[in-house]
Structure 1
Amino acid sequence: MRRPSRATLYGADPAHDDLHQFETSWLLSPTILACLRGLISLYIFTTIIVIWVWYGTHDERVEIGQSFSYFTWLTYWGLGFYFLVSAIHTALYARTGRSVLFNRLPRFFRVLHAIFYASITTYPFLVTIVFWGILYSGPFYTIIFPRWSNISQHGLNSFYALLEILLPTTAPHPLIALPVLILLLLFYLCVAYITYHTEGFYPYSFLNTENGKKSGTVAGYCFGILAAILVIFFISWGLIWVRRRISGGKVKRSRRDSAQGRGGFMFRNADEGGCGNEMKSVVV
């Protein structure tokens, strides 16, 4: 049995470069996919700017700086930059038929992009679950602005993540991404307690350990979040696997893609991610 290469384990196998998995969709043309990703990125950054303007005009300027201490905000920024970067990658592929930036950058950047993709298809669901399941206590927002901002950051974020699970031709996450996601959560835990010791507040109340009797509860929340990210990761992995099965390996390629086959179709083996499907290229 052939031992998988290190590049394969990290989701950056050179043998699969011509599949352009991060830049193509089985349903949308590369141009439409690039536009969709660009619009989502634009909405996310517009949301951030509008919220900051609201803070600045309602005597809440301090919350602009404090926002970087919240996992919600950090993942929302991550979503915005992912969709911006992926829109650029996809637009360049649609125009040239090549992975312009990926081909010029060291392969390590493909690894980083694979892990980035894993993070934006897992963390948003965690944010949504924690906010509506633990932090939100009702009644529902009656003022339009907080209603819109919370739905955008704690609801639409998961919708965007779901789109990235269902629409592209990406392979299931490399399992090596899971310990990286857990490590990032541990780093955020450090940020939360550094925030308390420097700014005097806990970003999330369930992390409050001032009362010794609450230490066990805080530990319980932390292990609960750990369990949640494990479950979310494998659900996301499974949905991607199912999507690849249902789509039958179809790929809508750029017209300028030199890998296209005669008559606009190309068939090849694609065993990565455990699918074992043929990859059918459709020129658009």
Structure 2
Amino acid sequence: MAWGPFRFGTDRWDPTHRFETSWLLSPWLLFCIRALISLYCFTTLVFVLAWQCVHDETGCTASQNQFSYFTSLSYWGLAFYFLAAAVHTFTYARSGVPLLDRFPRPLQALHSAFYTTVVVYPFIVTIVYWALLYTGTWFAETYGGWSNVSQHALNSVFAFFELVLTRTDPPPAMHMLWLILVLALYLALAYVTAADKGFYTYSFLDPGRQGGLVAAYVFGIAVGCLIIFGVVWGIIWLRKYITETKLGKTGKFTEPSGHSAGSGKDLEMSRPQETHVV
């Protein structure tokens, strides 16, 4: 029983396709939006790397260092999530059976955890950047303003889209453990970077400048992560309650032939109710 929360489950995976559908958008439109978001994220990441290689005095060193920053790593996560989500939505819209349904159960569970990171971490990045790292004056260059807004503001807009317009269930409480574990692994990476490359990715992690406050910052961000998880859980629950219970918008579905279903409510009621996936 002690290992129960860590099991992948044996019930049917996501029988009403909540990861590939929306209560408002058709599967084809949801696919297009997710694909566009993924394209924008990848374009931003590649352009930032190329710009720094061309314009930075040290050449591509700054671009190489990007992979030590949580902002950059989480943005890569956004790009790959929306790419994967777009593929799953496309296969569902085309055939009625998403590619995700054909995956082994561990990969399906990992996709669920991936979703949780995508709707939690961007808000941490946005809050920490504008509250602790932003200098208070707007960027003198267009590139600086665009790159920082893209990575420290639009990231949360993209996460909010997934929270509000999809049909996902509230994430399992067990995901809090994985959120904190990933943050702990990043903390280790930050100090490995300091030892290997001689700089701290974020000033609040530098014990030489912050002293004992480093522990307070680390603990505060961990607590903040759990608070954001709780807020995200509440937003998803509220979205389901308003759209499905109050408004009766149970979802926009696709028939196996790939054509839009005539009645989303009838299609939802004709499918078995899913159990909570851990």
When normalised by structure 1's length, the TM-score is 0.87
One-letter amino acid matched to 1:75: S
**Per-residue deviation, 1:228:** 0.6
Q: Tell me the equivalent position of 2:80.
A: 81
1:13 and 1:257 mapped to 2: Cα distance?
Answer: 28
Q: Which has the higher strand share?
A: 1
Q: Does the 8 Å contact 1:98/1:257 carry over to 2?
A: no
**Unaligned stretches of 5+ in structure 2?**
none
For the residue of structure 2 that corresponds to 1:126, the secondary structure is: helix
**Per-residue deviation, 1:104:** 2.5
1:129 and 1:10 mapped to 2: Cα distance?
Answer: 33
Q: Tell me the equivalent position of 1:252.
A: 252
Map 1:1-284; keep pairs closer than 5 Å: 14-15=11-12, 17-59=14-56, 60-99=59-98, 101-210=99-208, 214-248=210-244, 250-256=250-256, 265-266=266-267, 267=269, 270=273, 272=275
Alpha carbons of 1:119 and 1:11: their partners in 2 closer, same or farther (altered >3 Å)?
A: farther
Q: CA RMSD in A?
A: 2.5
Q: Does the 8 Å contact 2:16/2:272 carry over to 1?
A: no
Higher relative contact order at CA 8 Å, sep ≥6: structure 1 or structure 2? Answer: 2
One-letter amino acid matched to 1:205: S
Stretch deviating more after TM superposition (36-45 or 248-257): 248-257
**Per-residue deviation, 1:15:** 3.5
1:250 and 1:70 mapped to 2: Cα distance?
Answer: 40
Instruction: Tell me the alpha carbon deviations over residues 5-39 of structure 1, each in whole angstroms, 9 at most, x when there is no partner.
Output: 958x7786634532111101111010000110000
Alpha carbons of 1:143 and 1:26: their partners in 2 closer, same or farther (altered >3 Å)?
A: same
For the residue of structure 1 that corresponds to 2:15, the secondary structure is: helix
One-letter amino acid matched to 1:170: T
**Per-residue deviation, 1:121:** 0.2
One-letter amino acid matched to 1:253: F
Q: Does the 8 Å contact 1:97/1:256 carry over to 2?
A: yes
For the residue of structure 1 that corresponds to 2:77, the secondary structure is: helix
2:62 and 2:151 mapped to 1: Cα distance?
Answer: 15
One-letter amino acid matched to 1:24: T
Q: Does the 8 Å contact 2:13/2:101 carry over to 1?
A: no
For the residue of structure 2 that corresponds to 1:47, the secondary structure is: helix
Alpha carbons of 1:209 and 1:160: their partners in 2 closer, same or farther (altered >3 Å)?
A: same
Q: Does the 8 Å contact 2:27/2:252 carry over to 1?
A: yes
Instruction: Tell me the alpha carbon deviations over residues 144-191 of structure 1, each in whole angstroms, 9 at most, x when there is no partner.
Output: 100000000000000000000011110000111110000000000000
For the residue of structure 2 that corresponds to 1:252, the secondary structure is: coil
**Per-residue deviation, 1:65:** 0.6
Alpha carbons of 1:138 and 1:80: their partners in 2 closer, same or farther (altered >3 Å)?
A: same
Alpha carbons of 1:12 and 1:129: their partners in 2 closer, same or farther (altered >3 Å)?
A: farther
One-letter amino acid matched to 1:115: A
2:256 and 2:169 mapped to 1: Cα distance?
Answer: 23
1:262 and 1:163 mapped to 2: Cα distance?
Answer: 25
One-letter amino acid matched to 1:228: G
**Per-residue deviation, 1:245:** 0.6
For the residue of structure 2 that corresponds to 1:251, the secondary structure is: coil
For the residue of structure 1 that corresponds to 2:252, the secondary structure is: strand
